[in-house]
């Protein structure tokens, strides 16, 4: 309770900025560019000591990557702490030099979190993964044709449905990306790999484990002595044990080997702790859940694999579905809860503290569409930005002023009519 209190107090003092990112219409960059953006944003990670955490309430700053449709008008939004604005803009411009980044107001303002609401109705959910976080989702690389190399952008399905949203309707998609240390989550992944291949794992034991094992060690030693002594009193030697194989990879099926390879590939890249939310809010007279809920869930299913990991909506504790008992009351409570979590861009509200996605998975879920995506109301830059010529003279104004002063001195303060102003 104390930690939550001091952290809320610390976060209330922070200032945030919402940046709208628009890329050129003729964008030919693959999601690899956004993968590089996320690797750059990982530089925001920093360690917080015990005093700063429990007294000052400091916590790791994070980013909110959002895709929104306001009555069919689509925007890519990045919400960040003001002190990391330069980091965000530099990382995007480094990969998209012709992009346009503009500060915009928070689009969630004006929507009440109290339900029932006289004006609006709401559907929302938080997405979770079905397996351990070390198992990867399907990445953008698997959307490329193996022979032609043609890339079928998975973002196209989401944005096409976004463009069909009408007046009075709003669809929001949010990924909270928290930079983290890489050691702990990778250690859990390595332990899972060793378990799959049958390799021995050494678990760390504390003082309590050592003390509790002493009696068993004594009994085992006594049993070994008794078993080695025969009736004649002659000590028998132990049979040499066959050395255990370090791995069972030779006996694994091709599918099992692919699973191990997929986990190791995910562990090879930088990870972020993530929470994913989606909300559809619309005026009651036009509210239609099927216009947003099913398309969003279908778009997320593109990244599912049967043998590795999948992403699905959570309706047990967070979402606005799957309620049976006291449905009306609990539904209104959940509507307000998920909208508050979305508006505050909370990294903890909802189902647990999230799960780890690496930069390749993040770039798959959130990237700027390429030239093949034809969503009609997707905000893109109309033309390439140009810079002034390098040799453009910048002292013209000073030259005109000096010429005017000389003429004034010659003609008692009057400027000649034939003075070359150009």
What CATH number has the domain bearing residue 119?
3.40.462
Q: Where are the beta strands (DSSP E) in 284-388?
A: 311-314, 355-358
325: Cα within 13 Å, side-chain hemisphere: 1
Together in a domain, 20 and 77: yes
Among 21-30, 84-93, 138-147, 158-167, name the one with the lowest average pLDDT. 21-30
pLDDT, position 227? 56
Together in a domain, 177 and 192: no
pLDDT, position 171? 93
- Identify whether 354 is part of a domain: yes
Average pLDDT over residues 370-398: 59
- Identify whether 132 is part of a domain: yes
Nearest alpha carbon to residue 162 among 42, 72, 251: 72
**C-beta atoms surrounding 35 within 10 Å:** 23
Nearest alpha carbon to residue 292 among 317, 316, 320: 320
pLDDT, position 27? 74
Residue 171 · residue 70 · CB < 8 Å: no
Together in a domain, 30 and 139: yes
- Identify whether 381 is part of a domain: no
pLDDT, position 401? 47
Together in a domain, 74 and 201: no
Among 153-157, 273-277, 314-318, 412-416, name the one with the lowest average pLDDT. 412-416
Together in a domain, 192 and 177: no
- Identify whether 259 is part of a domain: no
Domain finish residue from 228, 254, 280: 254
Together in a domain, 125 and 84: yes
Q: What is the pLDDT of residues 332-354, one digit of tens each?
A: 888 899 999 999 998 888 777 88
Among 97-101, 271-275, 366-370, 383-387, name the one with the lowest average pLDDT. 383-387
Together in a domain, 283 and 326: yes
Sign of the dihedral defined by the CA atoms of residues 205, 209, 210, 214, in that order: negative
Q: What is the pLDDT of residues 203-212, one digit of tens each?
A: 665 556 666 6
Q: If you average pLDDT over every residue of the chain, what do you get?
A: 82
Of residues 42 and 233, more confidence is placed in 42
- Identify whether 377 is part of a domain: no
Average pLDDT over residues 393-417: 52
pLDDT, position 40? 93
Report the C-alpha gap between 96 and 230 in whole angstroms.
80
Domain finish residue from 230, 254, 278: 254
Together in a domain, 335 and 401: no
Residue 246 belongs to domain spanning? 188-254
- Identify whether 263 is part of a domain: no
Together in a domain, 164 and 243: no
Q: Would the pTM count as exceeding 0.85?
A: no
160, pLDDT greater than 80: yes
Among 22-26, 62-66, 106-110, 286-290, name the one with the lowest average pLDDT. 22-26
Residue 101 · residue 21 · CB < 8 Å: yes
Together in a domain, 242 and 164: no
- Identify whether 77 is part of a domain: yes
Average pLDDT over residues 50-68: 90
Together in a domain, 177 and 219: no
pLDDT, position 332? 85
The number of domains in the chain is: 3
Quote the distance between the C-alpha of residue 54 and its chain's center. 26
The DSSP H or E segment spanning 223 is helix 207-228
pLDDT, position 203? 61
Band of residue 245 on the pLDDT scale cut at 50, 70, 90: low
- Identify whether 144 is part of a domain: yes
Average pLDDT over residues 170-180: 94
Together in a domain, 15 and 149: yes
């Amino acid at each position: 309770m104390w930690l939550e209190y001091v952290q809320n107090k610390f976060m209330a003092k922070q200032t945030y900025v919402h940046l709208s990112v628009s890329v050129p219409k003729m964008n030919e960059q693959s999601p690899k560019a956004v993968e590089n953006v996320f690797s750059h944003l990982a530089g925001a990670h920093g360690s917080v000591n015990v005093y700063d955490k429990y007294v000052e309430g400091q916590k790791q700053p994070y980013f909110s990557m959002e895709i929104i449709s306001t009555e069919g008008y689509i925007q890519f939004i990045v919400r960040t702490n003001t002190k990391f604005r330069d980091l965000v803009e530099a990382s995007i411009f480094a990969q998209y030099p012709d992009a346009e980044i503009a500060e915009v107001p928070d689009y969630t303002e004006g929507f009440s979190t109290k339900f029932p609401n006289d004006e609006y109705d709401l559907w929302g959910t938080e997405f979770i993964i079905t397996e351990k976080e070390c198992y990867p989702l399907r990445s953008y690389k698997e959307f490329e044709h193996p022979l032609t190399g043609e890339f079928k952008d998975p973002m196209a399905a989401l944005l096409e449905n976004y463009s069909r949203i009408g007046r009075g309707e709003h669809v929001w998609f949010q990924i909270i990306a928290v930079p983290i240390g890489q050691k702990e989550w990778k250690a859990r992944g390595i332990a899972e790999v060793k378990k799959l291949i049958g390799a021995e794992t050494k678990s760390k034991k504390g003082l309590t484990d050592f003390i509790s094992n002493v009696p068993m060690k004594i009994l085992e030693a006594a049993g070994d002595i008794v078993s080695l002594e025969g009736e004649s009193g002659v000590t028998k030697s132990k049979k040499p044990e066959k050395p255990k194989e370090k791995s069972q990879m030779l006996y694994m099926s091709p599918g099992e080997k692919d699973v191990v390879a997929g986990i190791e590939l995910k562990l090879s890249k930088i990870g972020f702790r993530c929470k994913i939310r989606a909300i559809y809010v619309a005026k009651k007279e036009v509210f239609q859940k099927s216009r947003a809920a099913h398309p969003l869930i279908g778009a997320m299913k593109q990244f599912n694999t049967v043998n590795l990991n999948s992403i699905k909506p959570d309706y047990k504790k967070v979402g606005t579905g799957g309620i049976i008992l006291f449905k009306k009351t609990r539904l209104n409570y959940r509507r307000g809860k998920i909208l508050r979590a979305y508006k505050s861009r909370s990294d903890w509200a909802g189902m647990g503290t999230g799960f780890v996605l690496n930069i390749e998975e993040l770039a798959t879920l959130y990237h700027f569409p390429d030239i093949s995506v034809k969503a009609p109301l997707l905000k893109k830059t109309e033309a390439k930005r140009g810079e002034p010529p390098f040799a453009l003279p910048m002292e013209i104004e000073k030259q005109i002023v000096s010429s005017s002063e000389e003429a004034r001195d010659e003609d008692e303060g009057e400027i000649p009519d034939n003075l070359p102003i150009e």
